[in-house]
Amino acid sequence: MATDLNAEAIESWDANATFWDARMGTTGNKWYQKLEVPVLEKLARVSPGTYALDLATGNGLVARWLAKQGAHVLATDVSPKMIEIAAGYQSSTGDSYPEITYKLLDLTNPDPVAWKDVLSAAEKVEKDISISVSSMQSCML
């Protein structure tokens, strides 16, 4: 259950989701292009069939990058609007990302039922030595 502060944060991300997506879009901003992509290319040894967990996916930018490299991705976010936008890229860009599953998740929720899919995905990531990526780019801002 979200605290008042969590509820306020979720409402804020929902209210600003369209603005955030307009700034990030399909290619990301300069921060993403100059810093995140080179780090992902260097550290995320992604090959077809690997598993990745993208926490705080935002508009799904990193999830789509991982999927383009061949990973099966579980992308989570606390904001229903962000998940809606991220999933919307499935059809709006003309690209298909069947290897991405989007899930609403509050990382501060201690309820194990809420974490079932994430823990299952994390187990797959852990078993796959070639990749262990959890992206929380929105927390770096």
Q: Is residue 139 part of a domain?
A: no
Radius of gyration of the chain (CA): 14
Other beta carbons less than 10 A from residue 138's beta carbon: 18
CATH number for the domain including 33? Answer: 3.40.50.150
The number of distinct structural domains making up the chain is 1
The pLDDT of residue 15: 94
Q: Are 133 and 51 a contacting pair, CB within 8 Å?
A: no
Within-domain flag for 111: yes
**Model pLDDT, residue 125:** 63
In a domain, 3, yes or no: yes
- For residue 52, being part of any structural domain is answered with yes
Q: Which domain holds residue 72?
A: 1-133
Q: What is the pLDDT of residue 82?
A: 97
Contact 102, 117 (CB under 8 A): no
Q: What is the pLDDT of residue 131?
A: 42
CB 131 within 8 A of CB 45: yes
Please indicate, yes or no, if residue 138 is contained in any of the structural domains.
no
- pLDDT, position 111: 78
Is position 141 within any domain? no
The pLDDT score that the predictor gives to residue 140 is 41
Which of 137, 47, 32, 56 minimizes the C-alpha distance to 104? 56
**Is 140 within the bounds of a domain?**
no
pLDDT tens string, the chain, 141 residues long: the values are 557 888 898 999 999 999 999 999 899 999 999 999 998 888 887 888 888 888 899 999 999 999 999 999 999 999 999 999 999 987 666 677 888 999 998 888 877 777 777 777 667 665 554 444 444 344 444
Q: Tell whether 29 is covered by a domain.
A: yes
